[in-house]
Amino acid sequence: MNQEIDIQDRPKYINPYFGGVLLGLVLLITFYITGRGLGASGAVKSAVVTTVDKVAPDHAEQNTYMKAFITDDHSPMFNWLVFESFGIFIGGLLSGALFGRIKKLRIEKSPNITNKTRLFAAGIGGILFGIGSQFGRGCSSGAALSGTASSSFGGLLVMLLMFGTGYVVAYFFRKLWI
């Protein structure tokens, strides 16, 4: 009885292999048109550089990492990955609307932890992903997915080590999820 309700409550997602084929085709078309793959963390980097450049221009100019992304003729937000990432958000909105998943603001978590714990872990996870994606020259999209698809050795390395590390540490953080 309970299980039947569970199945009805379950969100309807597309078949993962079908989703994978679609994602692969999107990636292939991206390579065919632009000569490069997809990305996601790059947009946040542009946002960071833009913010620092607005708040403390001298500081941004002096920073050896950020100054490479600052030019006089246009804002760092005028960047391919920023437009693409804005597209990711719109695409998520469209799919969410189509499948009825856009609901009021909510926190998704294991029933065994508090909202505070979940948000704390999400924040730390984001910080680590932000730092790691800079060392790794991209995140799951730019390095692991697009890198591996274009046969980059570094892309493969990032993919294997990212998921590998995930499996190694998963046990210690199991309370967060199961």
* Residue closer to other proteins, measured from CB, 57 or 166: 166
Tokens, residue 116: 């505070």
Question: C-beta of 72: minimal distance to other proteins in Å?
Answer: 19
Question: C-beta of 123: minimal distance to other proteins in Å?
Answer: 4
Q: Residue 169 interacts with other proteins (CB under 8 A)?
A: yes
Q: 112 vs 78, 108, 118, 177, 178, CA distance in Å?
A: 43, 12, 10, 8, 8
What is the footprint of other proteins within residues 43-72 (CB under 8 A)?
43-45, 47-49, 51-52, 63-66
Tokens, residue 169: 């540490």
Tokens, residue 2: 């309970």
Contact between 60 and 53 under an 8 Å Cβ cutoff? The reply is: yes
What is the footprint of other proteins within residues 107-146 (CB under 8 A)?
107-111, 118-119, 121-146
Q: Residue 164 interacts with other proteins (CB under 8 A)?
A: yes
Question: C-beta of 52: minimal distance to other proteins in Å?
Answer: 7
Nearest-CA neighbor of 103 among 112, 93, 111? 93
